[in-house]
Chain A
Amino acid sequence: MRLTKPFLLLRLGSCRLESFSPVPAEKLPVPHILLTWNGLGGMLGAAFPMVVSTSSIVTSGPGASVSKPSSLRTGRVFDIKRFSTHDGPGIRSTAFLTGCPLRCAWCHNPEAFVLHGLDDGANVREFTADGLVRELERDLAYFDRSGGGVTLSGGEPLSQAAFVLEVLRKCRERELHAALDTCGLVDTGNLASAARLARLVLYDLKLMDPARHAEWTGADNRRILDNLRMLDESPAEVWIRLPLIPGANDDDRNLDAVMELLDGTRFRRISILPYHRIAAAKYQRLGLPNRMEGVEPPSPDRIEEIRARFAAAGFDPHIGR
């Protein structure tokens, strides 16, 4: 139920990425991000102050490992949603991983903004890859009957790339259908590896115009579009996800551009995720300014109209939640 994906959070002022990341900085697509960040750092920096904390890690929950120094072999998860039915086929368990290179104004999981999670008492738990797969696998009986499986979402799961690749590898070994839900603003090599291991990639597209993309998400979309082309040339199964945000990306110009782009790819299945206001309380709790204050969710008529346009253009549109 996230409308959006990601954002790798970059860095602000003197705070250095490697000082809090469980993933070594050299593994992150830092140069790219820094580049896009510089242009609009001011506004977003103010909107999303970085909070780094490890005090909220829960160590007593089922499946949680004892708190210990982060390593390549562990990842941080701020939520697990079981009986998740909109993150790929069938009944699924979705793990939401911390960390994101984007700062979408409408983000529904702002707690993902930092690798360590915000200090709001959120249940950030640290897992080994094995531990996470075991936890996600508890609903195997329902996956098996529904053609479901597990989905790695976030945040941007590939902001914990080494961990995510290991989890995907374990899913392969255990014949578990795994989907990767990505914002696309990730290292191309990591994405290519993940796409080979995952059975399905859920790929977010938001805005086609690079400047508007940067304005609304904190980063331009060049790498996202490059990565989409890379996936198009790979054999990966990809479902496109389009958050539909009134006033941000629901204009005809953007929707036409999305269709034009996708027309040039083999991707036909598209999930339209209409904006909703469930996250407003989170912003309040986290003390974050909410740029979407006062924005109304799109009307059912408008959603249907857009769905019909995609259908008429030869796509396979679905309305998500």
Chain B
Amino acid sequence: MTPRIQALRNATLEAVPRISIERARIVTATAKSPEYLRASVPMRRALVFRALMEEKSLYLGEGELIVGERGPAPAAVPTYPEVCVHTAEDFEVLDTREKIPYRVDAETRRLHLDDVRPFWSGQSQRERMFRELPPEWHDAYEAGVFTEFQEQRGPGHTVLGETIYQKGMLDLKLEIRDAIAALDFATDPRAYDRREQLRAMDLCADALIRHAQRHAEMLDQAAASEADAGRAAELRTMAAVCRKVPANAPETFHEALQYYWFVHIGVITELNPWDSFNPGRLDQHLWPFYQRELERGDLTEDGARELLQAFWVKFHNHPAPPKVGVTAQESGTYTDFALINLGGVKPDGSDAVNDLTFLILDVIEEMRLLQPSSMVQVSKKNPDRLLRRVGRIVKTGFGQPSIFNTDAVVQELIRQGKSLEDARRGGCSGCVEAGAFGREAYFLSGYFNLPKVLDLTLHNGLDTRTGKQLGPQTGDPRGFATFDDFFAAFECQLRYFVDIKIRGNNLIETMIAKYMPAPFLSLLIDDCIANGRDYHEGGARYNTTYIQGVGLGTVTDGFSAILHRIYQNQDCPWDEMLAALDADFAGHEALHHKLLEETPKYGNDDDRADALVPRLFEAFWSMIDGRPNARGGTHRVDMLPTTCHVYFGKVTGALPDGKRRGETVSEGISPVQGADRCGPTAVLNSAAKFDHIKTGGTLLNQKLTPQLLADDQGLDHFTHLVRGYFSKDAHHIQFNVVTRETLLAALAEPQKHRDLIVRVAGYSDYFVNLTPELQQEIIRRTEQEAF
């Protein structure tokens, strides 16, 4: 690491996340202007974007090579009052909470309360949505049956494809001009809507060019007053880059990175999409530039490395927009889920791994930063040395990169109707979500609490936490003569809540399309220009809405207990079970022990429990997959939790698997924490017993001791373990390599372990920043050792 990168890295690690009011002030001022008031909705959004690109303050860090910040400085995080307008209490909580705080100074608070909040109160997307959603949606949401992604943030999963590496904004403007020229008001009743959308996109393209121009001017000024001749020349080069891109297509490695970064800043300033934004297949996009310049002698490997490292710092400068309430609980982290994809296959299906793949892996290992997150796609066509290199990074114990099965992801995407080439150009974003990069608007809509539905089924639809009749009355379990009768009651409850969620999703999506288009983002995703439609309105080639199932392990073990104890062995009648659940197992210790220790559990390759997994998955999946969303696309299923399994556990009562009231539910498709006792291969076998290809992503966590990866032989085993799991069409696996002793030490003395990074769900985080529940959970996740 060069001294420059060392300094940039230190600076970003030391930056304290704080709220910046700048964006909110610009947005509010724009929204009061006459030009805004007379404009169509897409043009209003474009005017806001233009004002932001023209007015927001610029930042140049000491020694920076890539420029552009969302806020006035690193870790200064704006608010998005048009999406969610914070209350005074929200700011108080953000400023003072122990975990994941955002500092809010008095001036920011004053400006927000005097100027921003009065204007947006009642007008934000969040309030608009909540006014329209029906009572049964609110009831289920408040009870914790599901969460809602769009209540504080824009829809996410916006991964870029190849466009910007081939086209400048000026090229896109030409396409827009042609699309407007082709509009025919005589035959197209949507012609006006399309023209407004296209004009909005055009304005956004100009705005980004202007934003880069402003950076060029700043860099020239800095060069003029720079005493160091070397740095002055560097600044002039950077200014030239900013004049070239994003107006024109990039021709160099540096230009390609800077172009992406301007686009990234544009997307995360326009709105606050989940998963920030993501360059996707970085080793593929940059390879032609790298190869060409290296051959010409214009770039060295070290030069490319330094640029990439400077690029990495830029991601880390951007903590996630602040979340409050349930959203903070379901995803309590500064990580904003930009997931760099490496490896995989080319559009023609051949091995995509190149020298740059390995160079970027070096950067990931050396930078050791939470953001950007990174993953490696592993196809059967990729060499084992890719996996071995990954193993060497994984064993350093910061949870990156995660590992994905390209061959499964491609099958998943094809099943969803993507073309073969589009599927091969795709990958995974966020935590584990499959998508056709650059061509798909795939919104995550919310986590779905499967254990809560079991809880409700056990109590005839009654929410024992609130005493409210939440679900339909499917019957007292004592009246079910067979296990199948009970299962049918569960399916009835599940369908009831899935229907509420899907109706809510379609309402919300419609409102977002109508009130909150994203014309800048729409520029970048095929085929929004050709369709003259916004990214939020179905303009992309593919439009998917995901519902993410949570707690598969817990719900499976719960059903296993009901099947084996109540119906098969008949050693625990319903009366006893229900009494034990009501008492949270107090006074029922013998039963609790039997449920925990002597009842088949998912995660042990034990078909007695595992046979329930496909049955439960199919029930959930068949109620969602293929149902229309509001954008001409379809609903699909993912199985991932982020940190929502902790929140879901809190709102879910005692369950027959032995879970006590409030205890965390299982995460992803991992077994209940500590329930797996037969080693990693048994976990992988259990996890592969349902059809991952029908999902858009599954998440499996494994904790390994450092010894397992200590030597070459350990790396062999790691490689074969992953290959074996992927041979079963599994989607994803990620590893925490840290000892229990280390975690306990960090718990005891957090100040000495500030740098301890662990894998949480689809991302890594500083262990000491996690909530106590998550810390406990990570300690409890079974640690697999080699023998």
Tell whether, in the assembled complex, residue B721 and residue A142 are in contact, meaning their CB atoms are under 8 Å apart: yes
Tell whether, in the assembled complex, residue A86 and residue B787 are in contact, meaning their CB atoms are under 8 Å apart: yes
Q: Of all chain B residues, which has the CB nearest A140?
A: B724
Tell whether, in the assembled complex, residue A142 and residue B720 are in contact, meaning their CB atoms are under 8 Å apart: yes
**Within 8 Å of chain B (Cβ to Cβ): is A45?**
no
**Within 8 Å of chain B (Cβ to Cβ): is A18?**
no
Tell whether, in the assembled complex, residue A85 and residue B787 are in contact, meaning their CB atoms are under 8 Å apart: yes
Contact segment of B68-76, B346-354, B433-441, B680-688: B680-688
**Within 8 Å of chain A (Cβ to Cβ): is B713?**
yes
**Within 8 Å of chain A (Cβ to Cβ): is B37?**
no
For the complex, give the distance between the alpha carbons of A81 and B787 in Å: 8
For the complex, give the distance between the alpha carbons of A148 and B719 in Å: 13
CB-contacts of B719-778 with A (<8 A): 719-721, 723-725, 727-728
Known: A82-B678, A83-B679, A83-B784. A138 touches B605 (CB 8 A): yes
Chain B nearest Cβ from A81, distance in angstroms: 5
Chain B's interface: helix, strand, loop or mixed, by majority? helix
CB-contacts of A264-321 with B (<8 A): 321
Tell whether, in the assembled complex, residue A83 and residue B606 are in contact, meaning their CB atoms are under 8 Å apart: no
Contacts of B727 in A (CB 8 A): 141, 144-145
**Within 8 Å of chain B (Cβ to Cβ): is A62?**
yes
Partner of A84, one of B720, B725, B787: B787
Contacts of B784 in A (CB 8 A): 83
Tell whether, in the assembled complex, residue B608 and residue A145 are in contact, meaning their CB atoms are under 8 Å apart: no
Contacts of A145 in B (CB 8 A): 719-720, 723-724, 727
Tell whether, in the assembled complex, residue B786 and residue A82 are in contact, meaning their CB atoms are under 8 Å apart: no
Central interface residue in B685, B727, B784, B787, by most chain A CB within 10 Å: B787
Known: A62-B608, A91-B717, A146-B716. A83 touches B724 (CB 8 A): no
**Within 8 Å of chain A (Cβ to Cβ): is B484?**
no
Interface string of B697-729 (1 = CB under 8 A from A): 000000000000000011011011101110110
**Within 8 Å of chain A (Cβ to Cβ): is B607?**
yes
**Within 8 Å of chain B (Cβ to Cβ): is A139?**
yes
CB-contacts of A94-152 with B (<8 A): 94, 138-139, 141-142, 144-146, 148
Tell whether, in the assembled complex, residue B720 and residue A83 are in contact, meaning their CB atoms are under 8 Å apart: no
CB-contacts of A72-96 with B (<8 A): 81-86, 90-91, 93-94
The number of chain A residues touching the other chain, given as a range, is: 20 to 34
Tell whether, in the assembled complex, residue B724 and residue A142 are in contact, meaning their CB atoms are under 8 Å apart: yes
Contacts of A321 in B (CB 8 A): 786-787
Contacts of B714 in A (CB 8 A): 85
Partner of B720, one of A1, A82, A146: A146
Known: A85-B787, A145-B727. A139 touches B681 (CB 8 A): yes
CB-contacts of A211-242 with B (<8 A): none
For the complex, give the distance between the alpha carbons of A85 and B709 in Å: 12
Q: Of all chain A residues, which has the CB nearest B708?
A: A85
Central interface residue in A83, A94, A321, by most chain B CB within 10 Å: A83
Known: A62-B607, A142-B681. A91 touches B724 (CB 8 A): yes
Known: A82-B681, A85-B717. A141 touches B606 (CB 8 A): no
Partner of B680, one of A1, A83, A138: A83
Chain B nearest Cβ from A267, distance in angstroms: 20
Contacts of B719 in A (CB 8 A): 145
Contacts of A144 in B (CB 8 A): 724, 727
Interface string of B666-678 (1 = CB under 8 A from A): 0000000000001
Q: Of all chain B residues, which has the CB nearest A81?
A: B787
Q: Of all chain A residues, which has the CB nearest B717?
A: A85
Known: A91-B720, A141-B724, A141-B728. A85 touches B605 (CB 8 A): no
Contacts of A81 in B (CB 8 A): 679, 787
Tell whether, in the assembled complex, residue A1 and residue B724 are in contact, meaning their CB atoms are under 8 Å apart: no
Chain B nearest Cβ from A85, distance in angstroms: 5
For the complex, give the distance between the alpha carbons of A83 and B724 in Å: 12
For the complex, give the distance between the alpha carbons of A321 and B708 in Å: 11
Tell whether, in the assembled complex, residue B787 and residue A91 are in contact, meaning their CB atoms are under 8 Å apart: no
Known: A82-B679, A86-B787, A145-B723. A139 touches B685 (CB 8 A): yes
What are 7 sample pairs from A and B whose C-beta atoms fall under 8 A apart?
A82-B678, A85-B713, A85-B786, A91-B721, A91-B724, A142-B681, A142-B724
B-binding residues in A (CB < 8 A)? 1, 62, 81-86, 90-91, 93-94, 138-139, 141-142, 144-146, 148, 321
Known: A62-B608, A148-B720. 6 other contacts (CB 8 A): A62-B604, A84-B787, A93-B681, A139-B724, A144-B727, A145-B724
